[in-house]
Chain A
């Protein structure tokens, strides 16, 4: 038996999926990134190892999320892909024929329109994070409700009240105002869910045609209130996959499998020992080569330099990768 590893390093959560050669999900791990992706990657991998026990034959690794390049350096990925592709691949494998994917994560949200399993159009939020997980987290903390229970509160409400969803800051002051007027917490939370859905449809979906079947995924899909609000506003059924929170990781595991099955070359996976036994350090310095003063990040394993990035002119980045690239050619 051999496996494919899918890794999704996001701003808020780091997700890992171990998929076997037949496409079954053997393990899924959802961790908070907590501002330290290197530690999260190590931790996630250790957990997978200890849960599975013994030696794992990992044939391919796929990474996605904003930390995908970092994960690539640490693990040795065969596929490093953006979140759009990863989410679309996973959703259309689980729901063949899906037309619309609504994805809301910790700091970004996206909409993906598919036709025959191929992405036709997509959009991501640009400047506003009002409708995303971080904001919900913050509001749950303010009302001292566990984020896990937030959705249950919302669906208990019979009538959501109107909250301004245009901007996170105004939504918050609206909520405080309504709370001081004495409205029940359930109704306020449902109102917030509806406001966030309106915000999402106006700022992200921006008039794109949303057709059924619709799949809702990403960390926020755990919130039943948002799902209900989507169903109400869109007037159609919204499905949430079982592994909604790790769909990006599932997609990248699938992409890794696709890549490895097509290619004859040996995989890039660096081996268990590389990640488990090495000590990874990152440091940064200001390059004084030109007035750009780029902040160059350096990733080291023990004493060995693995990668540089952050320089506009690619002087540092290329200094380390050149050897590998030429060998490939």
Chain B
């Protein structure tokens, strides 16, 4: 059995660790490229959202590389994603590919269900080994996120941004290769140290919250790397979604670490009081949360035609006005012209920089007047 799975940002690192721990042959899809997009777009319904198209591209490329089993997440609720695994299976069957599909239904607070599903996948390991595999994957996931968060902090501050990017990419590569906890710790420490040693400038740093649909936020290939682009413009980007939070809240029922999920849902009130599917309510909640934490702005991203995000977007205008935080929404589809995206982002960052420049110059004058 040669197992593959769809890409989602750096999630391939822990997923690979998990599947390897279950003593399975893993064939991850090649990194998402123009070819992946072309394949995906060619074989997907035109009105489906970008995640489905990228998944399709991933699966086709992985099957061609020799995979025979696809592990895909399921789901339920108003977001179309819940049905994607089935649609993808049918399309691939129609294309005459020979494979087996294992759909992991998100159990939402039923840990035993998930364990059972994973156990079903690992037919050649015992319960204890399955447990160990999960724990090691979780460990790698946390290491990856530590790097991601530090990267988000250092990229806007560093003078040589190319170098920081290179250190970060290399660090991820190493964590992917690590075989045990000790190696993971080692690589994490070395990478963090290298990032910290990079010389920093002392220009003002903007703080931007990135909210929206989970796949678009986590997978840079679908959002034209907006986070790095903003980082290069001296803006520190904080995402609303990190993989570990999602796993914790939705797969493990908030059981493994302290969750802010309830708090965020409360923030969404009174703007959006209902669960609208996907991460619509979280988008609104996090925007309010970022505003109250004095962030400079919020960028909402999602795939074109994403219903939950459209609902959230229609509420964000009011949030922006009442909470006093500038918001910008961007939708992504398979366009290749990046100029339009970067022009809008640059204009948004520029607007915030000029606003905060003005505020800081006002602030600087005050104590002088008080002194007189």
Q: What is the interface of chain A, defined by CB distance below 8 A to chain B?
A: 66, 81-85, 116, 118-122, 124, 126, 207, 290-294, 314, 318, 322, 325, 329
Interface segment among B134-142, B249-257, B347-355: the answer is B347-355
Give complex CA distance A190, B159 in Å: 54
Give complex CA distance A66, B30 in Å: 33
* Secondary structure type dominating chain B contacts: helix
B354, A293: Cβ atoms closer than 8 Å: no
B326, A120: Cβ atoms closer than 8 Å: yes
Give the contacting residue for A81; candidates B31, B331, B350; CB below 8 A. B350
Give complex CA distance A232, B350 in Å: 33
A292, B159: Cβ atoms closer than 8 Å: no
A314, B162: Cβ atoms closer than 8 Å: yes
- What chain A residues lie within 8 Å of B339 (beta carbons)? 66
9 additional A-B residue pairs with CB within 8 Å, beyond A84-B351, A120-B351: A66-B343, A81-B346, A82-B350, A85-B354, A116-B358, A118-B355, A119-B355, A291-B35, A293-B34
A291, B34: Cβ atoms closer than 8 Å: yes
Closest approach, in angstroms, between the C-beta of A93 and any C-beta of chain B?
A: 14
Give complex CA distance A322, B160 in Å: 10
- What chain A residues lie within 8 Å of B343 (beta carbons)? 66, 82-84, 124
Give the contacting residue for B33; candidates A81, A84, A292, A322; CB below 8 A. A292
Let me know if B45 is at the binding interface, CB within 8 A. no
B351, A85: Cβ atoms closer than 8 Å: yes
Let me know if B344 is at the binding interface, CB within 8 A. yes
B1-44 toward A: CB 8 Å interface, digit per residue (1/0)?
A: 00000000000000000000000000000110111100000000
Closest approach, in angstroms, between the C-beta of A87 and any C-beta of chain B?
A: 10
Closest approach, in angstroms, between the C-beta of A175 and any C-beta of chain B?
A: 28
- What chain B residues lie within 8 Å of A294 (beta carbons)? 34
Give complex CA distance A207, B160 in Å: 42
- What chain B residues lie within 8 Å of A120 (beta carbons)? 326, 351, 355
Can you list 20 contacts pairing A with B, beta carbon distance less than 8 Å? A81-B350, A82-B346, A82-B350, A84-B343, A84-B350, A84-B351, A85-B347, A85-B354, A118-B354, A118-B355, A119-B347, A122-B347, A124-B343, A124-B344, A207-B317, A291-B35, A291-B36, A318-B162, A325-B160, A329-B160
Closest approach, in angstroms, between the C-beta of A220 and any C-beta of chain B?
A: 19
- What chain A residues lie within 8 Å of B358 (beta carbons)? 116, 118
Q: What is the interface of chain B, defined by CB distance below 8 A to chain A?
A: 30-31, 33-36, 159-160, 162, 317, 326, 331, 339-340, 343-344, 346-348, 350-351, 354-355, 358
Closest approach, in angstroms, between the C-beta of A54 and any C-beta of chain B?
A: 36
B160, A122: Cβ atoms closer than 8 Å: no
Give complex CA distance A78, B346 in Å: 17
- What chain A residues lie within 8 Å of B351 (beta carbons)? 84-85, 118-120, 122
Give complex CA distance A291, B64 in Å: 15
Closest approach, in angstroms, between the C-beta of B13 and any C-beta of chain A?
A: 19
Interface core residue of B31, B33, B347, B350 (most chain A CB under 10 Å): B347
B354, A329: Cβ atoms closer than 8 Å: no
Closest approach, in angstroms, between the C-beta of B37 and any C-beta of chain A?
A: 10
A291, B350: Cβ atoms closer than 8 Å: no
- What chain B residues lie within 8 Å of A121 (beta carbons)? 326
- What chain A residues lie within 8 Å of B33 (beta carbons)? 290-293
Give complex CA distance A325, B163 in Å: 12
Give complex CA distance A156, B326 in Å: 42
Closest Cβ neighbor of B61 among chain A residues: A291
A119, B34: Cβ atoms closer than 8 Å: no
Knowing A66-B339, A329-B159 are in contact, say whether A292-B355 is a contact too (CB < 8 A): no
Closest approach, in angstroms, between the C-beta of B369 and any C-beta of chain A?
A: 19
B30, A291: Cβ atoms closer than 8 Å: yes
Give complex CA distance A118, B357 in Å: 10
Give complex CA distance A290, B221 in Å: 14
Interface core residue of A82, A126, A318, A325 (most chain B CB under 10 Å): A82
Closest approach, in angstroms, between the C-beta of B24 and any C-beta of chain A?
A: 25
- What chain B residues lie within 8 Å of A293 (beta carbons)? 33-35
Closest Cβ neighbor of B346 among chain A residues: A82
Closest Cβ neighbor of A81 among chain B residues: B350
Give the contacting residue for A82; candidates B160, B347, B354; CB below 8 A. B347
- What chain B residues lie within 8 Å of A85 (beta carbons)? 347, 350-351, 354
Interface core residue of A121, A294, A314 (most chain B CB under 10 Å): A121
Give complex CA distance A207, B317 in Å: 10
Closest approach, in angstroms, between the C-beta of A42 and any C-beta of chain B?
A: 22
Closest approach, in angstroms, between the C-beta of A291 and any C-beta of chain B?
A: 4
Give complex CA distance A329, B198 in Å: 13
- What chain B residues lie within 8 Å of A82 (beta carbons)? 343, 346-347, 350
Give complex CA distance A293, B354 in Å: 38
- What chain B residues lie within 8 Å of A325 (beta carbons)? 160
Closest Cβ neighbor of B169 among chain A residues: A313
A84, B347: Cβ atoms closer than 8 Å: yes
Give the contacting residue for B34; candidates A116, A126, A292; CB below 8 A. A292
